[in-house]
Amino acid sequence: MAADEVVTLEQVRGKRLLGLDFGVRRVGWAVCDELHLSVTPGGVLAYGSPQFWQALEQTVKTERVEGIVVGMPVGAESVRTSSVVEQLREFVQQLRQRFPQPVYVYDETGSTRRAQEALRLLGIPRKRRQQKGYTDRIAAALILWDFLQELHAWGVVRQEDLGL
């Protein structure tokens, strides 16, 4: 799917989707139900691990995923050309090569900050909020939730351009 294409509600209706919050060390994941009524934070996968792709494959299989939503920070050109975004581009290319499911790239700007704030408001102790990976899975859930909310509100979502 080209970056400038839109995702329609019809394309994902009745499908379980996996949301991914990419990081150079960890990738948080979350999954939604077929009706898109709920999003459940899943876990965190070590991106540098030799078993990363196997673990992600197992997650996709176990969760019966039919589409993948990857968060991308959108904003200043300096952010879009950073080494993290370069690694994100490579990650998305790998996803598209390794998985038959469609991969959608969606604006994740502020998801980590919002995840930290949500955890604080829920009364999660600071020590637990600072555990490695804890925020990543919540950020993945927020990315997927935002994607679904926009899709159900407008019927379409425009994919972000990765410059591939």
CA distance 154 to 72: 20
Q: Can you name the residues that pair with 158 across neighbouring β-strands? A: 6
* pLDDT value for 72: 85
Q: What is the pTM of this model?
A: 0.85
- The domains located in the chain, with CATH, are 6-158 (3.30.420.140)
Q: What is the pLDDT of residues 75-107, one digit of tens each?
A: 644 454 578 888 999 999 999 999 999 999 988
* pLDDT value for 109: 66
Is 20 a residue whose pLDDT tops 70? yes
More confident residue, 113 or 141: 141
Is 113 a residue whose pLDDT tops 80? no
Please name which of 110, 117, 120, 112 lies closest in space to residue 139, comparing C-alpha atoms. Answer: 112
**SS3 label, residue 94:** helix
Mean pLDDT of 103-114: 75
Q: Which amino acid is at 129?
A: R
> What percent of the chain has pLDDT above 70?
76
Half-sphere exposure of 89 (CA within 13 A, CB side): 13
Please name which of 70, 154, 136 lies closest in space to residue 107, comparing C-alpha atoms. Answer: 70
* pLDDT value for 112: 62
**Average pLDDT over the chain, rounded to an integer:** 84
Q: What is the pLDDT of residues 46-64, one digit of tens each?
A: 999 999 999 999 999 999 9
Is 42 a residue whose pLDDT tops 50? yes
Mean pLDDT of 17-28: 94
**SS3 label, residue 52:** helix
